[in-house]
Amino acid sequence: MTLAYDGTNFAGYQVQPKQRTVQGVLEKALTKMTKGTHVHVDGSGRTDSGVHALGQVISFDYPGMIPAPSMLRALNSLMPLDIEILNAEIVPEAFHARYSAVGKRYMYKVARGRYTDPFKRLYTGHYPYPLDVDKIKIALKDLEGTHDFTSFAASGGVIVDKVRTIYEATVTEDQANNELTFEFYGNGFLYNMVRILVATALEIGNGRRDQHDFLRLFEVKDRQQARGTAPASGLYLKEVYYPSLDEIAKETRKSH
């Protein structure tokens, strides 16, 4: 299933005791549908508290046969207003929302202007200082390719290999709304990586960092030097990419 959610009132995607989480809400609704059998939901990845999704992907084994459109309607009718299920599909058994994913696209929205716009505070980061957007565009080119992102990963992560490939890193300016929209498309992202990349890109655009500081930060492999993390409110998980279902089904047959 593909879903959108407003992350504001969730303690993130992943289940946590006594907290309202996206996974928790989904599993509770599915347990209601099965009349008591717990259904475990796998997400393509966690999103933090306040982080939004336009296209989060989840997978689960449902104990029963329900056509996908009926499942979509039934589960949506049990969803709170801050989650909307956009699509449902029956997938090969080998499909797993996290392990089958081959890429992800994140979006980050930054509101400019001196004060925080009340209607944007939960849906953008805010940067009130001057920016040279062309400088940011040039800097983002340095991100494309395969790099060691150690400088851009929140400490405390358990993942050892911090090499990732970014296929595309762009920024567009929406003059009418006085906003910037970043997009990052890559094969995987470390914890807080997008928010740290955005904070660094804004410092480059403001002139507080050198034009090619991303390249230096790849070299030094030091989280302390990237410093800032842009707020969760501006971040959206936009799309998760998978091989075709045929290819996934073939993989299953091979592994049997």
Binding site, residues?
106
Q: Least distance to a second copy from the beta carbon of 18, Å?
A: 22
Nearest residue (CB) to a second copy, 7 versus 186: 7
Q: Least distance to a second copy from the beta carbon of 77, Å?
A: 9
Contact 74, 33 (CB under 8 A): yes
Rounded CA gap, 175 and 248, in Å?
A: 43
Footprint on residues 183-212 left by a second copy (CB under 8 A): none
Distance of CA 172 to CAs 103, 138, 185, 197, Å?
A: 21, 12, 14, 16
Which of 5, 108, 152, 189 binds a second copy (CB under 8 A)? It is 5
Q: Least distance to a second copy from the beta carbon of 184, Å?
A: 20
Tokens coding 213: 């500081």
Contact 243, 99 (CB under 8 A): no
Residue 165's beta-bridge partner residues?
A: 146
Footprint on residues 118-137 left by a second copy (CB under 8 A): 118-119, 121, 123
State yes or no: residue 148 binds a second copy (CB under 8 A).
no
State yes or no: residue 4 binds a second copy (CB under 8 A).
yes
Rounded CA gap, 14 and 94, in Å?
A: 22
The reply to whether 48 belongs to the active site is: yes
Contact 21, 82 (CB under 8 A): no
Give the number of residues in contact with a second copy, rule: CB under 8 A: 16
State yes or no: residue 76 binds a second copy (CB under 8 A).
yes
Q: Which of 6, 48, 82, 148 is catalytic?
A: 48
Nearest residue (CB) to a second copy, 23 versus 200: 23
Q: Report, in this order, helix, strand and coil percent for the chain, each rounded to 5.
A: 30, 25, 45
Rounded CA gap, 22 and 160, in Å?
A: 27
State yes or no: residue 176 binds a second copy (CB under 8 A).
no
Q: Which residues bind a second copy (CB under 8 A)?
A: 4-6, 52, 76, 81-84, 115-119, 121, 123
